[in-house]
Amino acid sequence: MSFHTKVLLQTLSLAVCFVWQPLFAEKLAVYHTSDIHGYYFSRADKSGQPTGGFAVLENVLLKETEPFVLLDSGDFSSGNKEANASDGRYSIELMNAAGKTPKNVLGQGYSALAIGNHDSDFGAETLGQMLSGFNGEVISVNVEGLQIPGKQIFPYKIFNWNGKKIAVIGFSMDGPGMSGMELKKRCSADWDKLLQEVQAQKPDTVLLLARDSVADPRKPSQLLDILTQTPSAQTVIDVFFG
């Protein structure tokens, strides 16, 4: 497995992970974004050159030669005038439209997202209505009490992507933006039970899509200590997208 990261924007980063079986030629590229925060357009970098945005992302995806999926780990719906004016709806519309190419296993759009701590800045009811328009899956092991018309929140989902059985587990971070819903605490025993359940389905790869960071000094990881104490974590989880 190879892994590399490209920064598209200060608040929109893109990580690309390639998943494959050693005995087969088929590959699957997994593109991951986080902290979009409504920054849909290019912005000037430190040198003054425009960089990033959904148009740049689309150009990257149009050049992808392998089948791919798009995932997001939250904080996509608030942060600037465009996002706030639409209560985050524009974010969902752009995520549904992204990656319009035959190489996208969906044909178009993101396959799944995890809810971020600022995605309920406009209230749980507004978030639920917004997510009802998302064409992919909403995945979070710890969000409870959020009503999404016509949709269900899954703790994890097993996908069949390009002949690969891929498990995606979602995790949401507690924070000021989580008003109007509950984030249930998950102890090591809870994670161990969940991971054994996932492993029993024999996925080719297990991805953890988490609103969490193991390297942000401003906010200690809510997952690192728990997963360190979880016997099955190191053997089941293949890639951490945070």
In this prediction, residues 116-137 reach a mean pLDDT of: 94
What is the domain range of residue 61? 2-241
Q: 208 pairs with which residues across the strands?
A: 169, 240
Residue 31's H or E segment, with its range, is strand 27-34
Number of domains in the chain: 1
Beta carbons of 131 and 171 less than 8 angstroms apart:
no
Model confidence pLDDT, tens digit, residues 149-182: 999 999 999 999 988 899 999 999 887 778 888 9
pLDDT of 12 higher than 50: no
pLDDT of 5 higher than 90: no
Backbone φ and ψ for 139, nearest 5 degrees, come out as -125, 125
Q: 168 pairs with which residues across the strands?
A: 157, 207
Q: How far is CA 76 from CA 37, 51, 232, in A?
A: 5, 18, 31
Lateral strand order in the sheet of 27-34: 2-7, 13-20, 27-34, 68-72, 112-113, 137-139, 153-154
CA dihedral 109, 111, 117, 122 (to 10 degrees): 50
> Which CATH number is 115's domain given?
3.60.21.10
Backbone φ and ψ for 28, nearest 5 degrees, come out as -135, 125
Instruction: Give 7's pLDDT tier (boundaries 50, 70, 90).
Output: very low
Q: Single out the residue of 31, 46, 43, 55 nearest to residue 79, CA to CA.
A: 43
Instruction: Give 14's pLDDT tier (boundaries 50, 70, 90).
Output: low
Prediction pTM value: 0.88
Residue predicted with more confidence, 17 or 65: 65
Instruction: Give 49's pLDDT tier (boundaries 50, 70, 90).
Output: confident
H-helix segments, 63-167: 81-85, 89-97, 124-132
What percent of the chain has a predicted confidence (pLDDT) above 90?
62
